[in-house]
Amino acid sequence: MSKVLDHKVTIITGAGSGIGEEMAKLFSSEGATIVVVDVVPERVDKTVAAIRSKHGTVYGMVLDLTKKDDIKKLVDDSVKIFDHIDILCNNAGIMDGFYSLEETEEEWWDKVLNVNLKAPYLTTKMAIPHMMHNGGGTILNTSSVAGLYGGRAGLAYTVSKHGLIGFTKHVAAYYGDKGIRCNAMALGAVNTQIGYGSGKPSPLGLKVLEKTTGSMGRPADPQEIARTALFLVSKDSSYINGSVLVADNGWTVY
C-alpha cells in the first residue's frame, strides 16, 4: 500500500528536537526518506535512532546552518547519497529573548537573522536547481505569528519571521511554473525547547507579549504542527502555493 510521501527525499533542518523531530518521524512513517539536520550531535542521533527503529530510511548530519560551507555540504551530500531532493523544510530557528530595539545588540541581531532567514535563503537557493532538474519539489518554511504582527516576539525574531514570509511568497511566485511549491506555517506558541533563546527574557518584551496572549489558550503539541506540515508538503495541498497557514489556536483572531 502506497503512502503519502513514498520515496520523497526530504531535508528537515532543526530536526533534532521539537517540531522538526516530530516532522521527521511522521514524514518517515508516511514513506519519506529523511535527511535529519541539527547543530547538536546528540539530537541528531536521537531522531535518527527513532526513525531507524521503525525501519525508516534516514541520514543524519550535524551542521551549523550559519556556515555557508555546511549548507553546501548538506545539499551536495543529500543529492550524492539519495540522487535528488523532493522536499525541503526550513524549520531550524532560534528565539531572541523578546528584546526591544534598544535591548537588541548587533551581535544577537546577526545571529538570529543568520539562523532564521539567511540559512533558509542559502539552503533553498542551493536546493532549487536540483528540484528543477527533477521536475519540481516542495518547500515548507516554519515561520511564526511574529511574522504577521509586531507584538509576539522580540525585534530580531519578528523581523526574521516577517522576512521568511516574504521569502516564501517570492519563491512561490518565481518558481511555481517550474513545479515548485513554497508555503509557510505561521505558528503560535508550541511546546518545545526553543524557550526564549538568549537567557533571561526581557521584562519589557514579556509585558508587551502579555497584552496579546489572552486568546491563545494552550500551546500546541509539536505533533499537531507536524500533521499540519505533512498536509503542506503532500499532494493533498497541491493547489496551495505561496500561502501562509496560521496555526495558533486562535491567538491572532482577536
Residue where the block lists cell 508516511: 30
How do strand 9-13 and strand 87-90 relate by DSSP bridges? parallel
Query: Which structural domains are found in the chain, ordered by start?
Result: 9-247 (3.40.50.720)
On the 0-12 / 13-18 / 19+ scale of CB atoms within 10 A, 204 is middle
CA-CA distance, 221 to 229, in Å (whole number)? 13
- Whether the Cβ atoms of residue 91 and residue 142 lie closer than 8 Å to each other: yes
How confident is the prediction along the chain (254 residues), in pLDDT tens digits per residue? 789 999 999 999 999 999 999 999 999 999 999 999 999 999 999 999 999 999 999 999 999 999 999 999 999 999 999 999 999 999 999 999 889 999 999 999 999 999 999 999 999 999 999 999 999 999 999 999 999 999 888 999 999 999 999 999 999 999 999 999 999 999 998 887 655 455 565 565 455 555 555 555 678 899 999 999 999 999 999 999 999 999 999 888 87
Q: Which member of 99, 121, 149, 157 is catalytic?
A: 157
For the question of residue 175 being annotated catalytic, the response is no
| Angle formed by the axes of helices 41-53 and 18-29, nearest 10° | 20
